[in-house]
Structure 1
Amino acid sequence: MVDPIGIKTGAVVARPVSSVNALSKVAEARPVQPAAPVVQTAASELTASLAAKPPVDVERVAKIKKAIEDGNFPLVPSTIADRLLALKMQWKPND
């Protein structure tokens, strides 16, 4: 049988106590020198270039705005409704 976790009523079992020695003086912290210079890789260069740009494709947004203004942007209400329902089905606020 497994004992439950928590306080048990009854006799208290004696527990041995260990003594702790005083700590010796700790050496002063020194800055760590890097073993080698940092090498720029293709991934770090790509990351830096993407970080410099805004996360939105400004040209695409401008094209969509222009199409909406001209009345050429295809809006299909059933597609919009389907995607909103799919998004709602995937959204779980209590998780």
Structure 2
Amino acid sequence: MSTHASATAAGTAPVGAQTASTATEGNTSALSGLASVMAAQPPVNQERIAQIKKAIADGNFPILPATIADQMIALKLSWSDNDAA
């Protein structure tokens, strides 16, 4: 009888399974902690948004039509054929 079969027959998990289970629990705990930290922070940088709004209001925000056009084309090219335009 193999180690896995004897461990299963005895009602215990094989040693490798216990290690994987412990690693998975550790990863789940770490991800839960990270999710909590991220949920406590705003999803966008409000200070940067305020700076951009002020620059637009003051007329100091650089608007480069060629750059905007390039980004729009790049975005369109990244859509799949099934996406609506």
C-alpha distance after superposition, 1:28-80 (max 9, x if no partner)? xxxxxxxxxx98x6664443121112211100000000000001111000100
Aligned to 2:76: 88
**Which structure carries more relative contact order (alpha carbon 8 Å, separation 6+)?**
2
CA distance in 1, matches of 2:62, 2:52: 10
So what's the TM-score if we normalise by structure 1? 0.50
What aligned pairs does 1:1-95 form with structure 2 within 5 A after superposition? 44-94=32-82
Q: Tell me which protein shows more helix as a share of its residues.
A: 2
Could you list the runs of 5+ residues in structure 1 that have no partner in the other structure? 1-37
Q: Flag structure 2 segments of 5+ consecutive residues without an equivalent.
A: 1-24
The separation in 2 between residues aligned to 1:64 and 1:42, in whole angstroms, is 35
